[in-house]
A = this chain, B = another copy of it.
Amino acid sequence: MASYKPSPRSKIIRSPQRAHYDKKTLYQVLDAGYLCHATYLFEGAPVIVPTAYVRIDDHIYLHGAANNRLLNSLAAQNQACVAVTHLDGLVLARSAFHHSFNYRSAVIFGTPGVVEAPQEKETILQRFTEQVLPGRWAEVRPPSAKELQATRVVGIKIEEASVKIRSGGPVDDEADYGLPVWAGVLPLQQTVGQPLADKQIRQGIKISDAVTNMVKK
């Protein structure tokens, strides 16, 4: 299956020309980030929580402490919804009404399940680290058996998904193109600053390759 079939909950109604349901586009949006928002029901009402994620094949994985309420609530639910959003720019139109954002937004739905096997947990945690900072896993102390046990990993099988992407310049009303107003796009992006060494860094320890490569990007 190369595309998801939208159901009433995932079908994009507004600006359907910006909707995508294919896995290729979905994976591109998911793989461009590492912070998502997930939701769980607390006494019947939804609560939203930001958390790290990684995609592996057709699963999104979340992790946290063993007593993490989001993870334990998700594990007890039979459906999960996770959103990943990248803000790409401010779209400045000639009218207030047509101001907008450029963005890439993915919303996925699926069945959550706890990952129990320590080896599988470790592989997933490795992917978490490598997704954020490629090469970092090999530089650091890997998790101990106790740390693996203290970590809850929940996988969500993506069963339904929608992506919405807006790019490009403003779309103004025909009559407004004649107005003496500057219009265009202010691009936004997440940038990496200069690395700050830990105060307790041992003398003689050089900055690592993984960090150097990230700063170069």
Selected from B14, B83, B126, the residue in CB contact (under 8 A) with A48 is B83
A82, A133, A195, A198 interface centre (most CB from chain B within 10 Å): A198
User: Interface residues of A toward B: which range?
Assistant: 35 or more
Q: Which residues of B contact A6 (CB under 8 A)?
A: none
| Minimum C-beta distance from A80 to chain B (A) | 9
A192 touches B182 (CB 8 A): no
Chain B proximity of A46: nearest CB distance (Å): 4
In the docked arrangement, what's the CA distance between A41 and B42, Å? 12
Contact A141/B181 with A48-B83, A82-B48 known, Cβ cut-off 8 Å: yes
| Smallest Cβ-Cβ distance to A150: which chain B residue | B97
Q: Which residues of B contact A83 (CB under 8 A)?
A: 37, 48-50
CB distance from A123 to the nearest CB of B (A): 12
- A52 contact set on B, CB distance < 8 A: 101
| Chain B residues within 8 Å of A49, by CB | 83, 107
- B85 in contact with A35 (CB, 8 Å): yes
The reply to whether A141 and B94 form a contact with Cβ atoms under 8 Å apart is yes
Residues of B within 8 Å of A96, CB to CB, are 125-126, 129, 137, 140-143
- A193-B202 in contact given A129-B96, A133-B90 (Cβ < 8 Å): no
- Do B208 and A181 have beta carbons less than 8 Å apart? yes
Q: Are A95 and B47 in contact (CB under 8 A)?
A: no
Q: What is the total number of copies of this protein in its complex?
A: 2
Query: Which A76-100 residues have C-beta < 8 A from chain B?
Result: 79, 81-83, 85, 87, 89-90, 92-97, 99
Does A25 reach chain B (CB closer than 8 Å)?
A: no
- A38–B48 CA distance with the chains assembled, in angstroms: 8
A132 at the interface (CB under 8 A from B): yes
A residues whose Cβ falls under 8 Å from a Cβ of B: 8-9, 13-14, 35, 37-43, 45-50, 52, 64-65, 67-69, 79, 81-83, 85, 87, 89-90, 92-97, 99, 101, 103, 105, 107, 125-126, 129, 132-133, 136-137, 139-144, 147, 151, 169-170, 172, 176-202, 205-208, 211, 214-215
